[in-house]
Amino acid sequence: MYFVVLCFASISGFPFLLLFPDVLIHYLPLIVVLLPLLAALVAGLGRNQCCYLATFLLAGTMFLGGYLLLLAYDGATWHLSLNWLCIAPSPLHWPLGFSVDFPVAVMVCLTTTISFITHLYALAYMQRESRRYFVLTGGFVSAMLGFFMAADLITCFIGWELMGLGSYLLISFWHQEESTAKRGTQAWLTNQVGSTGLLIGILLIGSELGSFNLAELALLAKKVDHSSGWLVVARSCLLVGICTKSAQFPWFSWLPSAMVSPTPASALIHSATMVAAGVYLLISSAPILGATLSWLAYLGAVTAFMGAYAALTQQHIKQVLAYSTIAQLGYAVMAIGVGASSAGLFHLVTHAFCKACLFLCAGAIARFLLQRGRVMAMQDMGGLRKEMPIVFCAYLIATCSLVGVPGFGGALSKEAILSATLAWAHQEAVTGNHLGYLVPALGFSAALLAVMYMGRQCCLVFMGTARWSHKGTPCTPYHTPWLMQISIVSLAFFSLGWLYNPWSLNGDSSWLLQRLAHVPRLTTTLSVTAKMQHGGMLLSLGFALLGLLLLVAWRLKSLPTPPLLTKLSLHGWYLALFTKIIASGGLYASRLTAQFDRLIVGGLVRTTAVRYVVVANVIGWLDQKLLGGVVIFVSSVPKYLGRVHRTTQQGSFQQSLVWLLIGIGLLYWGIYFATQGV
């Protein structure tokens, strides 16, 4: 097994890193995070040649990611932390830091590998717009790597929000079109609802448990009462954020709308990046969620079935792949819910490679049809296996991996998940909960539907006659650019099963799954017996064959489909319409609130203000005219008397003589009236 790991890491550039000194090994996670950001800066220098240099830097990131995986496989760990805020005297502190163990290294290696391959593809696909695209994706990849390496919830949330911003900019890349801008806004607002819930949950968890560090929270969660009211609210908010980001029921309607992004960006978003972030955070926060995990098994199973059923009748090739992503993420959530987190993480890896390959093949098909004036509707395709043989072979390999054909990567992880659901359902039945068998039933049904919708897609796109050509119209030869071919073939190579288990078809004996199962934070008490493993394998194969038979009957028109069920699948369970109704209701309520505020509250405020102004004017007049007049009069009397008195003290003989005469006159007048009275 060690030899397989060494080969896998060698592909990622291990030989190029033998010259790295030890001091760089210590800061290896930080270097891995910063290199894509440097690539974004280089791509924005102003010349298209800089895009090749940016792709070279991403190749270096992939090499470092492979080396990180090899070191982590041997047990190496990294811990880089900065205590940037502490509120005294409270023991609560907010650290920022990175922590890397083997599961983190797997996600880092996965992200860097797919990012480099999609960037290589974009050099030929994006052409003139590659520089702006590379600037956005460089920052996006850096945010993703920072999220996966986060050692605490604060760093995790920072990476989460930067990822959301990057995905919005990529989905709205061609924002000149109104429909694209609207769908980008829809994806952004939907994810912001989840981000709000996540932030509230993080703050409540830090307040209740006294720490944001994920390793410390795993220990503290064992010592607290999980029935505490605030912890229940915190877990609920956390799940809202996780399920929104990972497109789980009922928040998955935004993901098919995000297909307006460039095809390399779609491959990046739907494979190892944003939609997988919620599932990974679910794995990291599993100790905090406690008993809530059992409900996630049902949620993941329902999402897997609904996503697979919605993909059955879609007409756009990327829409089928989008609903397929929803279904496969449902499998991963279902695995975490039943206690098989290692199988869920393993499924993220196998699904990432095959789904990225399918999207890049869809981009090559779109480029082919665009030259012939066609769109991405599958009813306008057909016969492409002769025109694009390499794309057809890669698409077939990725499809086999997605539906779980033995010998391919997806079969190993899907078998491990379905076997775990059977064991979990058996344990639940022992305790009296026979409803647990609904989880494997929906899981196997989703596997059956996967064969049908992917088989239908392959038939419509590659088989039959060419519906994109017109009789009498000369068809110009087309050759897929070699950079696109290399990218597609590389992802098809990673979709093969021997890379993960070269000696058998049993998923549980995969070197990657075995190593993940021995990680302490991924260990589980779920016991999957050999009987359950064989039963899961046989049932998976049986449901796949049944799905193939149903597909043949469906294509031959011998399998009737009720119109209601067809519309339910075509419109994605009407969740987008339901979301639109809720949004319209919220908008109408906000308008009513605005009218109430403007007419009632505003009118009351204006009336009160007018009354206060009138009273203030009256008081001002009284103060100025009445009280002010009295004050002026009272102050003027002493002033006048003072002036009179001052004139008597000036030393003038004439004035003194006048005042003497006046005084004698007044004295005489007074004596006269006094004597008259006597």
Using CA atoms, how far residue 224 sits from 227, 235, 291, 311, in Å, is 9, 14, 13, 43
| 540, 418 Cβ separation under 8 angstroms | yes
Facing residues of 95 across strands?
83
Amino acid identity for residue 352 in this structure: A
Nearest to 115 by CA among 223, 37, 210: 37
CA angle 343, 346, 347 (to 5 degrees): 90
Q: Please give the pLDDT value at position 3.
A: 38
Q: Which among 167, 145, 131, 121 is positioned nearest to 42, based on CA atoms?
A: 131
Which residues contact residue 324 at a Cβ distance below 8 angstroms, ignoring those fewer than 6 apart?
307, 308, 311, 355, 402, 450, 453, 454
d(CA 54, CA 43): 6
Check residue 78 and give its pLDDT: 86
- Tokens 């989840």, residue located: 194
Q: Check residue 11 and give its pLDDT.
A: 44
SS3 48: coil
Looking at residue 1, its pLDDT comes to 41
Secondary element (H or E) of residue 204? helix 178-209
What pLDDT is recorded for position 407? 84
What pLDDT score was predicted for residue 471? Answer: 52
Task: For the full predicted model, state whether its pTM sits above 0.85.
Answer: no
The pLDDT, as a whole number, for residue 232 is 84
As given in the structure block, the two tokens for residue 537 are 């394998």
Report the distance separating Cα 493 and Cα 499, nearest Å.
8
Spatial CB neighbours of 652, under 8 Å, sequence gap ≥ 6: none
CA atoms within 13 A on the CB side of 77: 7
Per the CB < 8 A criterion, the answer to whether 331 and 354 are in contact is: no
CA distance 552 to 464: 14
Q: Which residues contact 609 (CB under 8 A, 6 or more apart)?
A: none
H helices of 252-340, in order, are 254-257, 263-270, 274-284, 286-289, 293-310, 317-337
Place of tokens 């492409």: 384
Query: Going along 386-545, which residue ranges are E strands?
Result: none
Own/partner pairs for 384-391, CB < 8 Å, 24+ apart? 384/461, 384/462, 384/466, 385/462, 385/463, 387/466, 387/478, 388/364, 388/478, 388/480, 390/480, 390/485, 390/488, 390/489, 391/361, 391/364, 391/365, 391/480, 391/485, 391/488
DSSP element (H, E) containing 493: helix 482-494
* Extents of the domains making up the chain: 1-197+209-220+241-284, 293-469+478-570, 579-652
Beta carbons of 390 and 361 less than 8 angstroms apart = no
Quick check: helix, strand or coil at residue 82?
Answer: strand
Q: Which residues of the chain have pLDDT under 70?
A: 1-23, 46-48, 83-95, 225-227, 272-273, 372-376, 468-478, 504-505, 507, 558-560, 645-653, 677-678
Residue 353 is predicted with a pLDDT of: 92
